C-alpha cells in the first residue's frame, strides 16, 4: 500500500528540518522498518513550506501502533518546535487521496 500525506514546516526551519532528518535516530529508523515502512521520502515545497511525505507499507494497520511507541513520542517532542503540531506533539498531517498511479 502507498500512503501520502502533507504537513507544515514553520518558516525559517528548512535547514534544521533537513538536518534533523539527516541525523535520524537509529532506534526510530529501526521502529519504522519493523512496522514495514519502505521507500519513505519527504519533500518540501519551498514556496509554501508544505511537506509531502510518501511511503509504502505492507500492513497499513501497523501505522496505528506507532503513536503508542515511546521513541515516536520522543521524536514528535523533538520536532514540535519547527512544525505545526497537535496537542500530543504529533505533526498536523492530512492524508492525500491518490488520483493517479503509473506502474
- Residues forming the active site: 21
- For residues 26 and 58, what is the distance between their CA atoms, to the nearest angstrom? 21
Concatenate the DSSP letters of all residues of 48-77 into one string: TTEEEEEEEES-GGGGGGGGGSHHHHHHHH
Amino acid at each position: 500500500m502507498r500512503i501520502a500525506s502533507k504537513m507544515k514546516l514553520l518558516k525559517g526551519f528548512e535547514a534544521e528540518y533537513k538536518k534533523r532528518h539527516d541525523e535520524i535516530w537509529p532506534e526510530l529508523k529501526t521502529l519504522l522498518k519493523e512496522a514495514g515502512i519502505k521507500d519513505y521520502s519527504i519533500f518540501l515545497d519551498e514556496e509554501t513550506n508544505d511537506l509531502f511525505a510518501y511511503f509504502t507499507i505492507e500492513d497499513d494497520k501497523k501505522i496505528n501502533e506507532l503513536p503508542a511507541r515511546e521513541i515516536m513520542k520522543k521524536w514528535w517532542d523533538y520536532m514540535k518546535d519547527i512544525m505545526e503540531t497537535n496537542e500530543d506533539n504529533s505533526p498536523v498531517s492530512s492524508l492525500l487521496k491518490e488520483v493517479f498511479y503509473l506502474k
